[in-house]
Amino acid sequence: MERFINILIIDNDPVIQTGLKDILMGRGNNLLHANSIEEAIPIIKKKEIGIFLLNIEDVEEGINSVQILKENTRSQNNYIIVVAKEDDTGAKLVKGMHMGAVDYITYPFNSNLVQSKIEVFKTLFYKDQRIGQLLNNIFPSTVLEELQSNGKFSPKKIDNGVIIFTDFVDFSLKSKNLKPIHLIQTLEKYFIKFDEIILKYDLEKIKTIGDAYMATAGVTENTPFPAIRACLAAIELRNYMITEQETAIAMKKDFWEVRIGLHMGPLVTGIIGTSKFSYDVWGDTVNIASRTEASSKNNSISITKTIFDEIEDFFITTPRGNVDIKKRGGSIEMFYLEKIKEVYSMYNEGNFPNTQLRIKCGLSPMDFKQMRIQIINKLKSLLPEHLYYHDVPHSINVEKAVIRYAKLEGIDKDEILLLRTAALIHDAGFMASYNDNEDFAIEFAHSFLPQFGYSDQQIELISSMINATKHNVEPQNILEKIIIDADYDYLGRPDYPNIVKKLRRELQEHGEEFSDIEWLNYQLNFLENKHRYYTETAQNIREIGKQSRIKKIKQQIEDFENESIH
């Protein structure tokens, strides 16, 4: 798996700049440069820098520079390395290390030593990233912030938290007939999808207990209307399981069914444990939610009166009357949650919230995840079979590339979603025509995206990005530059030969035949004369691979010509 890191060189000495670039270019290093700490500030406020290479001119200036970097950087996950001339270390390096630098390198550079040190801190950077991701998977962001600030998390009382419980029907019986590895794989498949849906509606997964899955709303997040968001998630969970069941029946396979229950009331949240921490919630609300789920029917959602009172204007429900609460005693009024009312649902089908309801719940009006599912399904079913290069994997690879470039370029989350949308749609025009496909893709975007909550302004931005992927169109902004570079990301990747084989085959299907020498010259002409990378990131991480490819093709042409002479 390719990994990339932003490395910022802060130095006004061109000899040192060039020396570091010559040593470090490539190997996933996106090298950035600033002549001074003042030039560096806009860069570090926009982009996540993993390693700083800082030249200290004098002791006091160096100390201030280290402090400025620490105060302005977007992330604490970075490493500052002091650069100094070999005869000018001493107090400067000691002071730099004291103020937070982690190491130093000296000029004239020892290439192997510099590379070794950078690789060590890159490894630590990636490890810190992974630890951060794991912590975010274990603890809610608000809990992590308090732990980082205070070193502890105080228990909190929540007046109206929503608990959502699911479990699988007859799980014990099914587990007896499954091999352990198959059982775990099936659970993992479903729980991964559950995680995706819970995250989509800004809920918080708490834990899994065997085959049971527990999440909360209105406990760790500030997003409004937690009961509505929890019900939206519950409907999508149930519908997913019903679709899985219908598919299994059609294929004459076994299937799993789910029960879901929701209740709202007072809760206490906190962290327990000393060696293995666990974030959890407690209270009678949890017990009632669990009993509500247990009393539900197969592939059904039961909600209590407290939930119903919050959501009745937006959902269709069926009364259940008072239901006894087993093991706890007493009874509570319950309802079956059926679907979203037509006026608030996408397609008027009752399965997904429309823009109006999403905005009310504090969610983004744009439902990117549902759009992504729909466009990939359309591409799979409607792209012609003879598109060997402009196929679905190509669109997905371009999407992955725009994410990579956008993160390294410091693009914000909302614009990344627009980039991903443009990447997924940019070849949709091939569903209608092989020529002028970008124009058809733009028309498709205008008709397809509004149903997922995209605004007119967002669709125009996406259309401009798609238009920029045409040949001979110059990009006008960073988003357009990113999607063009992502479209041709493979030109500098090791898998280039496999991809151009698919391109040649596709062109042959459309009447463009090439002899072997013609194909080599076709590639060389494009790489040398027609293509360029626009973003600094692409120039740093892909240009070396592209130039290496050009050199290899020239050698192949020379070898071919020599063989022809003999």
Q: Quickly state the pLDDT bin for 560 (edges 50, 70, 90).
A: confident
Domain at 156-360: CATH code: 3.30.70.1230
Mean pLDDT of 168-188: 86
Q: For residue 9, which of 489, 544, 402, 540 has the smallest C-alpha distance?
A: 540
Residue with tokens 């960073």: 478
| Distance of alpha carbon 45 from alpha carbon 547, whole angstroms | 32
Share of the chain above pLDDT 70, in %: 95
Mean pLDDT of 380-386: 93
Q: Quickly state the pLDDT bin for 59 (edges 50, 70, 90).
A: very low
Mean pLDDT of 306-331: 92
Total length of the chain: 566
Mean pLDDT of 271-290: 86
Give CA 373 to chain center in angstroms: 15
Fold category of 5-137 in CATH: Rossmann fold (3.40.50)
pLDDT at 382 over 50: yes
Q: Indicate the range of 76-90, 429-443, 446-460 predicted with least confidence.
A: 76-90
Phi-psi region of 279 (alpha: psi -120 to 50; beta: other; left: phi over 0): beta
Q: pLDDT per residue over 407-443, tens digit each?
A: 999 999 999 999 999 999 999 999 999 988 999 999 9
pLDDT at 111 over 50: yes
Cβ contact 58:66 at 8 Å: no
pLDDT at 81 over 50: yes
Domain at 368-565: CATH code: 1.10.3210.10
**For the chain, first and last CA: distance in Å?**
43
**What pLDDT is recorded for position 91?**
56
Q: pLDDT per residue over 26-48, tens digit each?
A: 889 999 999 988 899 999 989 99
**What pLDDT is recorded for position 170?**
87
φ, ψ (nearest 5 deg) of residue 157: -100, 130
Range ranked top by mean pLDDT from 107-111, 167-171, 308-312: 308-312
CA distance to 124, 225, 412, 420, 431, per residue, from 128 (Å): 6, 35, 21, 26, 43
DSSP per residue over 347-403, as a string?
A: GGSSSSB-HHHHHHTT--S--HHHHHHHHHHHHHHHS-TT-SSSSHHHHHHHHHHHH
- Domain spans of the chain, in order of start: 5-137, 156-360, 368-565
CA distance to 37, 156, 203, 270, per residue, from 414 (Å): 29, 32, 19, 32
Q: Indicate the range of 101-115, 171-185, 283-297 predicted with least confidence.
A: 171-185
Q: For residue 449, which of 469, 466, 471, 468 has the smallest C-alpha distance?
A: 466
Whole-model pTM: value is: 0.86
**What pLDDT is recorded for position 561?**
84
